[in-house]
């Protein structure tokens, strides 16, 4: 596990953004696993800027997002579909047919999850971008008694609801989501995790120094052979 510590989120965005731009230029049809939330926003800004400046093209890139809320219309500003278009896709030349999300409005969520897992398996993620929850969740894999394998429907914990409800000013925040499983996340060839702020310090300390346990899902990354962790000083303060 390689750990990089920066002064602020902007610097992390430039470093991780460059990592992605270089990887895309090296393999134009790369398959990316993407995250939402505050952590990757500066990275997406960097990639969008490079794309606008003609330094990289996403026209053959394929993406698979980690998670999506259940029963939230795709068009809602808080759906992860909207988030990704607003923060990244709309500012690049990526093709709509190449971006993939779990459908949180699927009538049969079991079937939807199996379909997503089959697509993921076939595509093979080259680089998976992750944030981490205060409670150590990755994707929406909340603390549990066992690690999940494939995608599934999850009931969000109070900690996750508290962290995200600020975005829901019009409608109440959904309490369920579909998420990629820990097993699928671990299949990515490379994993890049970003954590910013004091409230992530416990999860990062558990990731680096703790036991591997589903009670802190991010700890599983200790078993991956190619993980890079990008932290600001606050998130790294307990290391
Ligand atoms: C989002 C996701 C979550 C977030 C995590 C951190 O797709 O999978 O695991 O990465 O909740 O969120 P932020 O970055 O908002 O602190």
Q: Which residues share a beta bridge with 63?
A: 32, 99
> Which residue owns the Cα nearest ligand 1 atom 3?
139
> In the Cβ-directed half-sphere of 191, how many Cα atoms lie within 13 Å?
26
User: pLDDT truncated to tens, each residue of the chain (239 aa)?
Assistant: 999 999 999 999 999 999 999 999 999 999 999 999 999 999 999 999 999 999 999 999 999 999 999 999 999 999 999 999 999 999 999 999 999 999 999 999 999 999 999 999 999 999 999 999 999 999 999 999 999 999 999 999 999 999 999 999 888 899 999 999 999 999 999 999 999 999 999 999 999 999 999 999 999 999 999 999 999 999 999 99
- Report the catalytic residues: 67, 135, 137, 142
Place of tokens 């994993």: 191
Grouping H, G, I as helix, E, B as strand and the rest as coil, residue 17 is helix
CB of 131 within 6 A of ligand 1: the answer is yes
Domains, the chain, ordered by start: 2-232 (3.40.50.1360)
Q: What's the whole-model pTM score? A: 0.97
Closest ligand 1 atom number to CA of residue 196: 16
| Distance of CA 42 from the midpoint of ligand 1 (Å) | 14
CB of 35 within 6 A of ligand 1: the answer is yes
What secondary structure does DSSP assign to 49-111, as a single string? Answer: HHHHTTS---TT-EEEESEEETT--TTSTTSHHHHHHHHTGGGS---GGGEE---TT-S-HHH
């Amino acid at each position: 596990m390689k750990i990089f510590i920066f002064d602020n989120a902007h610097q992390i965005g430039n470093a991780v953004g460059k990592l992605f731009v270089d990887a895309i230029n090296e393999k134009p049809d790369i398959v990316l696993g993407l995250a939402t939330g505050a952590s990757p926003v500066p990275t997406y800004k960097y990639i969008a800027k490079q794309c606008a400046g003609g330094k990289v093209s996403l026209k053959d890139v394929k993406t698979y997002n980690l998670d999506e809320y259940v029963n939230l219309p795709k068009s809602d500003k808080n759906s992860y579909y909207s988030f990704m278009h607003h923060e990244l896709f709309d500012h690049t030349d990526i093709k709509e047919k190449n971006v993939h999300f779990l459908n949180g409005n699927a009538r049969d969520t079991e079937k939807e999850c199996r379909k997503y897992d089959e697509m993921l398996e076939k595509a093979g993620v080259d680089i998976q971008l992750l944030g981490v929850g205060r409670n150590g969740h990755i994707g929406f894999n909340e603390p549990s008694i066992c690690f999940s394998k494939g995608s599934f429907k999850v009931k969000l914990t109070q900690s996750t609801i508290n962290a995200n409800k600020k975005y829901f000013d019009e409608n109440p925040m959904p309490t369920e989501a579909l998420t990629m499983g820990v097993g699928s996340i671990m299949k990515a060839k490379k994993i890049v995790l970003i954590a910013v702020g004091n409230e992530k310090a416990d999860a990062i300390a558990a990731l680096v120094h703790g036991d591997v346990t589903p009670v802190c899902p991010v700890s599983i990354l200790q078993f991956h052979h190619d993980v890079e962790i990008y932290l600001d000083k606050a998130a790294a303060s307990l290391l």
